[in-house]
């Protein structure tokens, strides 16, 4: 049997149960944005890791080396943000073909350092090795969160409002432009820059992490059609999503007018948005939304509600009528 | 300029200084086997990461999937051992071609789990993704060590005895047999198994970590000709090594008789021994050696002494005459 037949999550399911007996007290492992381990009396440590492979996650011709370094760290900081945590350190493993230009790698490291400085996250170690042909980058980031305060995927409650921290689909639309050599204009070039240099929602995540009314949280890396299901499965709940409430940027709407692309497909299953997806208790929603919008430029948007019915399933609604949405999120190993 | 012209350490030198301003109190980063970060009142945390790439670090045809999983974790546990630390958790990133057999990966994970169980190290997270063609495995391991008690590369003192925790060169000789299709006999098959399934010196490292008389320590991954220089450079010391004292296994000696291979080259610069290399204060040496040999089957061997002269340099001696040893350790990016 090939991996492509069982997919990424099928593979993880095959071994994760066999390892869980080794977990100690206060340790939570595979299945959330970060693992959780005890740190000291006050804090737990959170850890995440992400692997980027040339020609799978990026094309050398479509991203500057600076952005590549920036993004490699950003996607990990986004996982720390998703737990409501503060990043503390990073570890970088890189495999490089021997004929890689030193100046190219200097730029990769400059991009990485620029984001490290923004959030004061030191680079404390790593591994550097030769690769046969592709550039391989693995980043591991540690962070901390007050004990018992990490926002988990498993904490959604019936009646919660489902919210996102910014517009969806920009990254996927940017990737689509890159892959199809669509020249960006002033309005649509933002889509490409969000794809190549996403900004992790560290400050938003920390703020949301402090709100008691925020129940479940994760970051959107595979598209909400796939990611929201992780929250639903782990919380044992269902969801209703109102498509007309999905926030879309002006840039994405403009692309749609110019190129007749399927905006909704990008917004729901495009992936790499790195926005936060979270659920808020209904009685706290209005206050949290108001306070959030005072703190942050990009408004908090409610896109639906958590339901008791149909656990693990999303009911898509468009103007109060059910909508059949087939395409799931990105699944690794599919050919 | 190509990376092959400046090598692995030349590349690291280009960026490591630019990042160090971000380090906080009690944090030590790039340059030792593990990074050190504050954990709680009593302990520091140590972190290491290692990247294995198919056709660079292993050939799929020359290692069983079980051994591949075992080794991917072992090389990281060896770094924890080298600090005198206790491993606490691991994080595994894997990129796999879509046509990889599920049963092959089940075996990889069984090997990984088998070593995880031996030292009770839970697998708490990771990343799974598609690879264009090669298998890529990155492992990150956290551990802990009493504050101020981590054994660093920078702590060697003039007059220290330089010691190793086991015979050298077995792994390189095993690799040589695999690459040249030399059929192992009963005696030499151990060389291949040490190459494919090295045993991290966790218990030895913990024991040595508790000895006040042990100054510097590291694990031998690139061969002592290269690795010892890291201790010398960081400690500002020189070394004299007596080649006749280098411990060689019976299996390695047997291979030499049968195949006229250059045993010394394997022992000094072959790499992947994963034995511990450490320095012991002269006044404590006899007691530490005696106690160590009571605790462990493989005896502690003294191979030379730390000197004040020629900082950063190794003087090789054979029966009290200088010996010119040219070949350095393995350098990534060399073509």
- ipTM associated with this complex: 0.91
Q: List C-alpha distances in Å: B188 to B68, B71, B178, B185, B249.
A: 20, 20, 11, 5, 10
Query: pLDDT (tens digit, 0 to 9) for every residue of chain B, 335 residues total?
Result: 898 888 888 888 888 888 887 887 777 777 788 999 999 999 999 999 999 999 999 999 999 999 999 999 999 999 999 999 999 999 999 999 999 999 999 999 999 999 999 999 999 999 999 999 999 999 999 999 999 999 999 999 999 999 999 999 999 999 999 998 888 888 889 999 999 999 999 999 999 999 999 999 999 999 999 999 999 999 999 999 999 999 999 999 988 777 666 788 899 998 899 999 999 999 999 999 999 999 999 999 999 999 999 999 999 999 889 988 765 444 445 44
DSSP bridge partners of B140:
B49, B91
The CATH fold of domain A3-146 = 60s Ribosomal Protein L30; Chain: A; (3.30.1330)
Nearest-neighbour CA in chain A from B8: distance (Å) = 6
Instruction: Kindly list the domain boundaries of chain B, sorted by start residue.
Output: 3-146, 153-322
Among B residues 87-146, those touching chain A with beta carbons less than 8 Å apart: 88-89, 91, 93-96, 98-103, 105-106, 109, 113, 116-117, 120-132, 134, 136, 138, 140, 142
Q: Do A255 and A184 meet the contact criterion of CB atoms below 8 Å apart?
A: no
C-beta atoms surrounding A322 within 10 Å: 10
- Residue B50: list chain A partners with CB under 8 A: 93, 127
Closest CA to B132 of B101, B96, B161, B158: B96
Stretches in chain A below the pLDDT threshold 50 = 328-332, 334-335
Q: What is the mean pLDDT of chain A?
A: 92
* A-B C-beta contacts closer than 8 Å: 253
Listing from the earlier edge strand, what are the strands of the sheet with B136-146?
Answer: B35-38, B43-53, B136-146, B86-96, B123-130
How far apart are the C-alpha atoms of B87 and A282, rounded to whole Å? 43
Question: What CATH code is assigned to A153-322?
Answer: 3.90.650.10
Å between B82 CA and nearest CA of chain A? 15
Please tell me the predicted confidence (pLDDT) of residue B82: 96
Interface of A with B in 232-251 (CB under 8 A): none
Query: In this complex, which of A53, A102, A113 lies closest to B131 when CB atoms are compared?
Result: A53
What ranges make up the beta strands (E) of chain B? 35-38, 43-53, 86-96, 123-130, 136-146, 161-164, 214-219, 238-242, 276-280, 301-307, 314-318, 321-322
pLDDT at A327: 59
Question: Is B35's CB within 8 Å of A125's CB?
Answer: yes
Q: Which residues pair with B45 in a beta bridge?
A: B37, B144
Name A25's Cβ contacts closer than 8 Å, sequence gap at least 6.
Answer: A38
Torsional sign, CA A177, A272, A91, A4: negative
In chain B, the residue whose alpha carbon lies closest to the alpha carbon of A41 is: B40
pLDDT at B111: 97
Compute CA distances B263 → A140, B144, B163, B258, B267, whole Å: 38, 37, 19, 12, 6
* pLDDT on residue A234: 94
What pLDDT, on the 0 to 100 scale, is given for residue A260? Answer: 63
Query: Nearest by CB to A129, which of B35, B51, B128?
Result: B51
């Amino acid at each position: 049997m090939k991996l492509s037949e069982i997919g990424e999550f099928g593979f993880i399911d095959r071994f994760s149960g066999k390892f869980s007996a080794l977990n100690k007290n206060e340790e939570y492992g595979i299945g959330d944005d970060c693992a959780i381990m005890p740190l000291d009396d006050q804090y737990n440590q959170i850890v995440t890791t992400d692997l980027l492979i040339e020609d799978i996650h990026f094309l050398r011709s479509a991203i500057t080396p600076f952005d590549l370094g920036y993004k490699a760290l950003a996607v990990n900081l986004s996982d720390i943000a998703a737990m409501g945590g503060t990043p503390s350190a990073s570890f970088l493993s890189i495999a490089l073909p021997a004929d890689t230009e030193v100046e190219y790698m200097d730029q990769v490291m400059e991009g990485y350092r620029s984001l490290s400085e923004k959030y004061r996250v030191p680079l404390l170690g790593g591994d550097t090795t030769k690769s046969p042909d592709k550039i391989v980058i693995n980043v591991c980031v540690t962070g901390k969160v007050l004990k018992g305060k990490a926002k988990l995927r498993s904490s959604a409650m019936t009646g919660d409002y489902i919210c996102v921290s910014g517009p969806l689909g920009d990254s996927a639309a940017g990737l689509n432009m890159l892959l199809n050599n669509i020249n960006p204009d002033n309005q649509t070039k933002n889509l490409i820059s969000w794809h190549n240099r996403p900004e992790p929602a560290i400050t938003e995540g920390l703020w949301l992490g402090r709100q008691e009314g925020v129940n479940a949280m994760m970051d959107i890396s595979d598209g909400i059609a796939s990611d929201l299901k992780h929250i639903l499965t782990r919380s044992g709940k269902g969801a209703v999503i109102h498509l007309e409430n999905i926030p879309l940027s002006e840039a994405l709407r403009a692309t749609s007018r110019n190129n007749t692309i399927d905006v909704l497909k990008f917004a729901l299953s495009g992936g790499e948005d790195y926005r936060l997806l979270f659920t808020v208790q209904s009685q706290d929603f209005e206050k949290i939304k108001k306070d959030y919008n005072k703190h942050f430029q990009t408004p908090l948007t409610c896109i639906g509600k958590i339901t008791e019915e149909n656990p693990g399933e999303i009911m898509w609604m468009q103007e109060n009528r059910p909508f059949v949405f087939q395409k799931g999120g990105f699944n690794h190993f599919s050919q």
